[in-house]
Amino acid sequence: MRYFLEVSYNGTAFHGSQIQGELSTVQLAINRAVSTILRQPIETFGASRTDEGVHALGNFYHFDTETALSENFVYRLNAILPFEIAVASCRVPRNHEEANARFDALSRHYNYKLYITKNPFLHHRAYFYPYKIDRELLHQTARLLLGRKDFTSFSKRNTQTKTFFCTVEEAYWTFSGDAFCFDVRANRFLRGMVRALVGTQLQVARGKMSLEEFAALFEQKDCRLADFSVPGHGLYLEDIRYPENYFL
């Protein structure tokens, strides 16, 4: 039987979500916790890979086992997982033999949080950015992201992907007092893509890159022209959408 775990985590405690040997990662912690409860080696597979420091409010991991899960399985998982990881639910997909947390996802939604005035309660929860920016330019750059486009310029090098085309369904900036954030939903994301989108749009908003230069990045397909420097701790994987009635 294949099961899906809905997981949230504080990324500052881990070297990313994907397993990297014995380094502390979200996937390694979940593998160990599920294996301990089921008393057998269990390997999980994540829906979306997040980098070091990046948080998640709703990532998914699937795993297989022939052992029947107890009613308090989620409770027991949360009892032994690190405090920085929480499991919200354990679900069974209708077509459990072929279901895949990564490949069956229709879209992913990321949010990048920033704040202007120094605030100790937002440290490592958002990006402190005390600079003057042109908000209207941010709205204009976000609109340029919509649709199916080649995002090669916004992808880190040495990534294992067959295509750099992504379809962005939503992209917008919102402002509230001293805080502002960027939301983007797409069918898929490339390595480092959201942080590059944020960093490069901020370059435009500060007058360091023109709107025309930003628009030209899609044709230039050169990641050296984008800004990947914004830190991971401002980024949140908000949710992942699956087809309607995907789960029992």
Give the residue numbers marked as catalytic.
Answer: 51
Residue 248 near residue 181, CB atoms below 8 Å: no
Q: Is 231 exposed, middle or buried (0-12, 13-18, 19+ CB in 10 A)?
A: middle
Q: Give the Å distances, CA to CA, from 81 to 8, 26, 155, 169, 228.
A: 12, 10, 32, 34, 32
Helical residues (DSSP H) of 70-192, grouped into ranges: 73-80, 135-143
Residue 36 near residue 67, CB atoms below 8 Å: no
Q: How far is CA 78 from the centre of its chain?
A: 21
Amino acid letter for position 246: Y
CA distance 53 to 12: 4
Provide the Cα torsion 42, 47, 51, 56; round to 10°: -100
CA distance 140 to 211: 8
Q: Is the dihedral of CA 231, 232, 235, 240 positive or negative?
A: positive
Residues belonging to the chain: 248
- Joined together, the tokens standing for residue 162 give 């067959």
